[in-house]
Amino acid sequence: MAVERRRFLKGAALGGAAGVAAAASTFPKPAIAQERRDWRMVTSWPPGLPGVGTGAERLAANITSMSEGRITVTVYGGGELVPALGVFDAVSDGTAQLGHDASYYHISKSEGTAFFTAFPWGFTAGEISAWVRYGGGQELWDELYEPFNLQGFLAGNTGTQMFGWFRNEINSLDDLQGLKFRTPGNQAKILTKLGATVVLLPGGEIFPALQSGTIDGAEWIGPYNDLSFGLYQVCPYYYSPGYHEPGAALQMTVNKSEYEALPQDLKDIVRIAAQEAHEDMLSEYSARSGPALRTLVQEHGVQLRLLSTEILDATKTAAEEILQELRDGDDEMTRRIVDGYGAFLNDISPWTRTGEQAYLNSRYNPFSCITNRSI
């Protein structure tokens, strides 16, 4: 009887295992294994452009890798699938699921968009990150983009930029009168107030416009990208400070309908990949801009210049006027963004001045054994 009992138990176990195996072969696989999405990312950047362009490409690759291919992202540079300045609309209407550009390219949609890239004399790179993540900025951004079927995330930062390139020296406000200059966002409004003629061109069109004389000067980003664009070949004078973009943030936009349809783990991957891209790009620009500036000066004879106090003071006055105009305008959403931006700037400024600014003002080549003060 004992032998028969053992045979019965063994047979039952084998039969049970076979039944489980049979059931497993016919039962639908978990949904997680079936979800495969081929997404398009459109950008404003020339393909392969160091920094902003390659940063967008790394972001796309990270989403693909982190999701183990459940989202496969293909990147299109500016003009390859949609115009370089058409990213907002393309993601909004579903032509692409993802976009990478600067929010202030789209102030025609709402003046509030500009504040999530930069406002003249506003946030540094660290401050805009703090505002968006811990100061209520993301919530305002979400509300702003809701009618456009978009979800926005910080996804890059170039750090402090340069004021720009000029054929001739800019010593006074008189030198800005009638000057044809490429710049976007609220900086365009400031320079218009000061007498310049401003145009908005995508990055890939700046050099040809300078070379042909269509424009007299331009700002792009800073030494790292400006060197690769060859702007020094046309304009020998390079001005700072870039008060207009003291910490210019870039955005990844996601089609809101597509984003909301994702399971939570893929939503988290998209969000975290954007955050990593934001930190990674700022690190890259911080690392590369110093050597690039040295190359521009030492190898290409670029003349560094500081804007005059007259010009800087005038730009501050113009920026204040623009803020007041936005607060007095009819767009309630923009007013709320301006107020939220200002409230956080007021909160964070005491520590910025006492900590970072005081330190940088005091630092003067303390390690002469390993550094030098020359360009």
pLDDT in tens, 128-138: 999 999 999 99
CATH 3.40.190.10 residue spans of the chain: 164-244+301-362
Using N-to-C axis directions, what is the helix angle for 309-328 and 332-352, rounded to 10°?
140
pTM of the model: 0.88
Per-residue pLDDT band for 195 (boundaries 50, 70, 90) equals: very high
Peptide bond into 208 cis (omega under 30): no
As separate numbers, helices (DSSP H) first and strands (DSSP E) second, the chain gives: 14, 11
Write phi, then psi, for 57 (nearest 5 degrees).
Answer: -65, -40
Q: Which CATH number fits domain 36-160+247-286: 3.90.1150.10, 2.60.40.10, 3.40.190.170, 3.40.50.800?
A: 3.40.190.170
Using N-to-C axis directions, what is the helix angle for 332-352 and 137-145, rounded to 10°?
160
Strand (E) or helix (H) holding 154: strand 150-157
What confidence tens digit (pLDDT) does each residue in 259-314 have?
999 999 999 999 999 999 999 999 999 999 999 999 999 999 999 999 999 999 99
Q: Which CATH number fits domain 164-244+301-362: 3.10.20.30, 3.40.50.300, 1.10.10.60, 3.40.190.10?
A: 3.40.190.10
Q: How far apart are CA 193 and CA 304, in angstroms?
A: 25
DSSP 175: G
Q: How far apart are CA 276 and CA 265, in angstroms?
A: 16
Per-residue pLDDT band for 367 (boundaries 50, 70, 90) equals: confident
Picking from 136, 115, 148, 340, the residue whose alpha carbon sits closest to that of residue 249 is 115
pLDDT at 221: 97
CATH 3.40.190.170 residue spans of the chain: 36-160+247-286
pLDDT at 17: 41
